Amino acid sequence: MDKMAVRGGHQLNGVTAASGAKNSALPLLFATLLADGEHVFHNVPDLVDVKSACALLESLGCETCYKDHTLRVFVKPARVAEASYDIVRKMRASILCLGPLLARYMEAKVSLPGGCAIGTRPIDLHLEGMKAMGAEISVDAGYVLAKTVKLQGAKILFEAPTVGGTENVMMAATLADGETLIENAAKEPEIVDLANYLNKMGAKVEGAGTSIIRIRGVNKLKAAEHTVIPDRIEAGTLLIAGAITGGEVTVTRSAPADLEALIVKMRESGFKITTSGDSVTVHRTRGWRGVDITTAPHPAFATDLQAQFMALMTQAEGTSVITETVFENRFMHVQELVRLNADITPKTRVAVVRGTPGKLMGAPVMATDLRASACLVLAGLVAEGETVVNRIYHLDRGYENMEAKLMALGAQVERVK
């Protein structure tokens, strides 16, 4: 299993580019199931999760071809509407094939994704949405079995905004009879990206990016071409990488508007951040302050940047209170940061970080999930000596060529096979 060895104490400076968004690419790939033909996506990140999505599409009878960040998916009239445990267990987002398969073939069998390191992450809201559209749902031997004569438009009020649930229902509703209204929908930029692609395919989706999405069902969709939006979480992570070392880093090919909540908090902490077009720059800063954050659905502070921001706060002057409201178990990185000599008290959903610049000491640590891995690499950039992050495969699921990007900015990191 690969590890990442990080030698701390090197200031990061320079320009780097964000890759395409993983969380956009995955639903887009599953949306292809809604129409036969050749779907073409540009700016697709080269990630393990994207490979897993392709493997799932291939198991459903599609062909995929990836070259130079362009991914072509050839969808043929499928005979298979079953997503097996072996594939789904590798990536929870596989559940996003449920809506498209059900809408297209009137039945689907998809393995339950199961738990994961950052909480139980149920899919009850996805299933409630499908049921409201007239699907019969049962669970047997670890599989969700869904069938319908024809999905019907419905009014669906999500108890809490769910990103995957909104995407799954939105995709299913494109081919349903009549109109579907999703209320309390998630508003993430990735949902807007998916809606834009669905509309290119001939769907009638309005309101994506707001809490009410209206979908008028159509009879048929067609394959189309699309460019994936920039990865706001990767861009934010690279910005924090520059910030934590006190350097000046510009992230190009990003979408600064999607990073607003992070930028506001970094400025409050004392960083100078400027934006220009698709670029965002953190300028050299010394002596930033501890600030409090609370994660919540977009446009609030993203849970996917919480761990990385915590690493930054270990180097702040003063205390920071970090509250996680999206997932119930997303402080797995705290104990690892403590191994690096950070002073953090976690209490269920709140962590109190008492920052002291220059206090971190390198040590071997264990990555537990994708964003926790990024947090530990960031902490390693400023820890004295060497930090070895074990189980770096988590990082490869969501960050394209992270070590190359960091090294180009002046970091000393090495992948140890």
Catalog residues that contact ligand UD1 under the rule CB under 6 A: 23, 26, 93, 119, 121-126, 160, 162-165, 186, 190, 303-304, 326-327
Q: What residues contact 42, with CB distance under 8 A and at least 6 apart?
A: 20, 69, 70, 225, 226, 227, 228
Rounded CA separation 279/248 (Å): 13
CA 356 to chain centre: 30
Q: What is the residue-wise DSSP string for 187-231?
A: --HHHHHHHHHHHHTT-EEE-BTBSEEEEE--S-----EEEPPB-
Residue closer to ligand UD1 by CB (options 228, 383) is: 228
Least Cβ distance, residue 316 to ligand UD1 (angstroms): 24
Residue closer to ligand UD1 by CB (options 303, 387) is: 303
Residue type, 1: M
Give the chain's length.
Answer: 417
Residue closer to ligand UD1 by CB (options 102, 123) is: 123
Determine the residue with CB nearest ligand UD1. 164
Residue closer to ligand UD1 by CB (options 53, 383) is: 53
**Strand-strand pairing, 63-67 and 70-75:** antiparallel
Residue tagged active-site, from 54, 62, 97, 116: 116
Least Cβ distance, residue 159 to ligand UD1 (angstroms): 8
116 is catalytic: yes
Rounded CA separation 19/9 (Å): 26
Least Cβ distance, residue 383 to ligand UD1 (angstroms): 26
Count Cβ atoms below 10 Å from residue 277 Cβ, excluding itself. 9
Residue closer to ligand UD1 by CB (options 288, 327) is: 327
Least Cβ distance, residue 191 to ligand UD1 (angstroms): 9
Beta bridge partners of 139: 144
Least Cβ distance, residue 219 to ligand UD1 (angstroms): 29
- Tokens read off for 363: 């040590």
Residues catalogued as catalytic: 116
